[in-house]
Amino acid sequence: MGKKAICIGINDYPGTQNDLSGCVNDANDWAAALSARGFTVTRLIDAQATRNAMVSAMSSLISGAARGDTVAITYSGHGTWVPDRNGDESDGRDEGLCPWDIGSGQVLLDDDIAQIFARRAAGVRVLLISDSCHSGSVTRGADLDLAPGAPRARFLPPEAWMKPEDLPTARISRLPSLGGLSRSGGDLLLAGCTDSQFSWDTRFKERPNGAFTYYALKTLASLPASASYQDWFRAITPACLPTNQLPQNPQIFGTRTARNWKIFS
């Protein structure tokens, strides 16, 4: 059984004036955790993570996997949305990930990801971990690890990257939802927040990170080797997130069977 992963981290968003600070650290941290669990990892960092490069890397990863293999994709960067063009979204929006070249209109939509995932062979396990904005409230937990300073939302509104003539004219909520990504065709989606929240880019002990990534990896380190994805999710929330300064509720999507798989097996 083979195990391969792609870890994507984008801090630099040329032309948008919306750079982030913790996404590259996220990608490197996910890569280290996955490597320690036997994965062969490819990293796409900043300018390496163009839309074409992301599509090519994901496509190669999925199409090259055989029955019994596990593939993982982690993404840390901005999330966004565009008006739904094919009528498959109840909220009228296609959700998307923001590649490095989003400033030139190069968005990676949930429909695109679904097409890539559809190429997988039977018996291939696919895990997507997205520490980006899709978007709720409730405040619990403590902020003991959080460095001073305001967190920044990992959400890029359409007006930050789309041409004025392409902007939607209908009044649709600025926040994207998780709907499209949760239906993308992978077995499991772990996401940083609900469809009415932001995922936050912030600092912990003076080191930039995504809040979800930081707490996901912190809790993973304390779990037994036999722990399931559901065990992991329960360790993250509500014990770690949300907090008073980080009002985001992580999400897990997948079948009961997939949720009970051993982590990164």
Spatial contact of 8 and 73, defined as CB atoms under 8 Å apart: yes
Q: Are 246 and 193 in contact (CB under 8 A)?
A: no
7 is catalytic: no
- Alpha-carbon torsion (154, 157, 158, 164), positive or negative: negative
Q: Hunting for tokens 């939302």 — which residue is that?
A: 153
User: From the candidates 7, 78, 193, 240, which is the catalytic residue?
Assistant: 78
Angle formed by the axes of helices 51-63 and 110-117, nearest 10°:
30
The dihedral of CA 233, 191, 29, 152: what is its sign?
Answer: negative
Judge whether 193 counts as a catalytic residue: no
In contact, 185 and 254? CB cutoff 8 Å: no
Q: Which of 133, 134, 193, 240 is catalytic?
A: 133
Q: Give burial (CB, 10 Å; 0-12/13-18/19+) of 42.
A: middle
Sign of the dihedral through C-alpha 91, 132, 167, 59: negative
SS3 state at 117: helix
The amino acid sitting at 252 is I
Distance in angstroms (rounded) separating the CA atoms of residues 34 and 172? 38
Q: Is 262 helix (H, G, I), strand (E, B) or coil?
A: strand
Catalytic residues: 78, 133
